[in-house]
Amino acid sequence: MGHEGCGAVKAAIAARFDDAEHASRIEMIIEQILPALDGLDPASAPDELLRAAVEANVRHTVRELLATPEAQARLKQGDMKLVGAVYELDTGRVRFLD
């Protein structure tokens, strides 16, 4: 589950599209998020870009988890279903992604 306004995703956007540099601890997190930003339009309005990036990061994380041997085994057994979601800070609503 991601959340609106995620600071780590904001930092990844700044690193990818504005060549921003971050402290090493944050950089480790950003490196995990950067692949999710492929295909996003940096010319989008900042709020729209952040929303798209948060959703893209959730989807990327779900794909990464599903690719693990543990997840594959659980899926074959029927023990697991993995669903991405975004927590909306203002409303407290959880929005499930397709």
Give residue 53's Cα distance to chain centre.
6
Residue range 15-72, pLDDT digits in tens = 999 999 998 899 999 999 999 999 999 999 999 999 999 999 999 999 999 999 999 9
Q: Average of pLDDT values for 71-76? A: 93
- Architecture field, domain 2-96: 3-Layer(aba) Sandwich (3.40)
pTM reported for the whole predicted model: 0.91
Cα separation, 68 vs 65, whole angstroms: 6
Establish how many alpha carbons lie within 13 A of residue 72's alpha carbon, considering only the half-sphere containing its beta carbon: 4
Q: What's residue 79's pLDDT? A: 84
Query: pLDDT category, 91, cuts 50, 70, 90?
Result: very high
